[in-house]
Structures are given as C-alpha cells and as structure tokens.
Amino acid sequence: MATPSIESLTDECRHWLEKFLVHIHVVRGLSSHTISNYRRQLIVVADILAITDWRALTQVDVKRVLAASKRANQQPRSIALRLSALRSFCQYLIEQDHLETNPVEGVQAPKTGRPLPKQLNVDEMQQLLTSEHDADIICRDLAMFELMYGCGLRLNELTSLNLADVKSDGTIWVTGKGNKQRVLPIGRVASQAIHNWLKVRGNYASMYESALFVSKRGSRISNRQVGNRLDQLAVQQGMNQKVNPHKLRHSFATHVLESSGDLRAVQELLGHANLSTTQVYTHLDFQHLAKVYDSAHPRARRRTGEK
C-alpha cells in the first residue's frame, strides 16, 4: 500500500512535521535516509489515526498504531522504526511546548531478533585486497577499501572525506553520525594505499576539488559507485560471496575485538554512541571461540553430539 502524501495532513500537522524534519537535519545532523524514513513513518501514523492536531495524541492512539501495524503484517523492525520516529517527534514537540508528555513512552515495540552482522575472515580480507593491477582506478579502489577496513568506516564517512582530513601525523579526521568527529589512526597498509592513490589523483581531480576520493569524472565519488566498485573487485578476486561496504566495517570490528578483547576501544573506533550497539560483536567473538573449542577440546565432541 502506497504511503499517503504529506498534503493529506492538516495544515497544523504538516507545519509541525516539517519543522521537526528541518530540526533533525540541521540540529541533529541525521542522514537524508533516516529523515526520509521518519517522514514516511510519521505520515503513516497521521493517516492511521486520522489525526488533526498532534496535541491530541494519547498513549491509546500509539497502541492503535501498534495494533494497526501488526494487522498489516509489518515486520518487527518496521514497527520499531515507526515507534522510534514517533517517539523522537513527540519529544521534539515537548521541547517546543506543543505537547506535555510523550505518549510513546511505555509502549514496547515487538522484539526484532537482531541479526548478527556478517563479516569476512582475515584470509578472505587478504584475498579481497591483494591485487596486482596498478591502474589508477584500482589504486583508488584499494585505497578506499583498505581505509574502510583499516579504520572501520561507514560508507558515508568514506565518501565525505576530504583531502584535508588526512593528517601528516598518520591520523584521519572522520565525521560520523550527528556530525560527530573522531580521530582515527591509519594503519601502515592503508597509509601506503592512500599514498599510491594521491600520486595519481591529479589525473582525475582538479586542484579545486576537496574530496579525497573522486570518480572518473573528477567529482566526489558517490555511495552507489563505491558499492559497485567493491562488488566488481570481489568478483575479480574470485570471492564466492557478496561483499558490501558495511561488511568491511563489520570485519574491522570483529578482527580488532578478537585480537584485543577491548570492547570500549572498539566502540570508540567505530564511533558508536552506546556500548550496547558495539556489544553485538561479542556474540561474533563467542561464535569464533566456540568453533575453536569444538575442534580442539577432547571432550567437545560430546557437547556437539558427535560420536
């Protein structure tokens, strides 16, 4: 079923929704993808409730939204997103003295069964990033993917990097979610890959282009282009699985945690606001340890049911 248009809202409802969308873009620095999702979910909420003024919103209404979403066979993650958008919106209305209490508080979304992130093992990363090609564009690609894996960057963090973000002391300044900056060390291999790219970057970019990574046309490379190039590289390197940019970030987190056991450090390196977000990697680490135990311990076979 198509999402209703924002024009279907009353003037009062549309006014506050548009103010909220500007707020989360300008003040909170949320991505355009998140803003688009919030916009869509809040329009759906207004449509379900046929609401004319957000001030009339009650907890009973929120529960009606929850029930309607379940009847429409919405996935738990979609319902959680809908309630999250509504909770943030109501909190904004409270800050603007347009609402007294947050009606979403106390309403629980269905459990989502959070999936574990997928990652490549060390040998697979070696296979992916070891290329004998020396073409300029391959130099750029290897620099991008060595940096993503070497620093655990999000895709948007990579494409928004500027030349000035790469510092002479071997660090890189990264702007993450909410425009929060963090300083990360660049490893030896990634540093060499960036050096190789910078030697040929001038063949594509003008002296006025600030972006670190550019397309063949000389402008800042897009997220989609990065994904396509990684997919092509994986095929060229004989990988037998799909590889996407976020998988490099997951691989970084898993490998650093396996080697160091320092969850707090991994949190800082990834730029996670909450430790709970990083803790998902402890489950991956346990799976790795469990496999080692099953193959190495003399009594493990009984536990796994082997004879």
Give the angle 54-59-62 at the CA atoms, nearest 5°. Answer: 75
Specify whether the CB–CB gap between 220 and 159 falls below 8 A.
yes
How much is the pLDDT for 29? 85
| pLDDT range class, residue 109, cuts 50, 70, 90 | confident
pTM of the model: 0.58
| pLDDT range class, residue 289, cuts 50, 70, 90 | very low
The string of pLDDT tens digits covering residues 5-38 is 777 888 998 999 999 999 999 888 888 888 999 9
How much is the pLDDT for 112? 63
Please identify which residue in the block is written with the tokens 């997951």.
Answer: 250
Burial environment of residue 107 by CB neighbours within 10 A (0 to 12, 13 to 18, 19 or more): middle
pLDDT over threshold 70, residue 172? yes
Pairing of strands 171-175, 181-185: antiparallel
Specify whether the CB–CB gap between 213 and 144 falls below 8 A.
yes
Q: What is the mean pLDDT of the chain?
A: 84
Residues serving a catalytic function are 154, 177, 246, 249, 272, 281
DSSP state of 183: E
pLDDT over threshold 80, residue 52? yes
Quote the tokens at residue 43: 């329009």
For residue 264, which amino acid is it? Answer: R
Distance CA(130)–CA(239), nearest Å, equals 12
DSSP state of 179: G
Specify whether the CB–CB gap between 263 and 257 falls below 8 A.
yes
Distance CA(279)–CA(268), nearest Å, equals 12
Specify whether the CB–CB gap between 139 and 128 falls below 8 A.
no
pLDDT over threshold 70, residue 303? no
Distance CA(64)–CA(194), nearest Å, equals 53
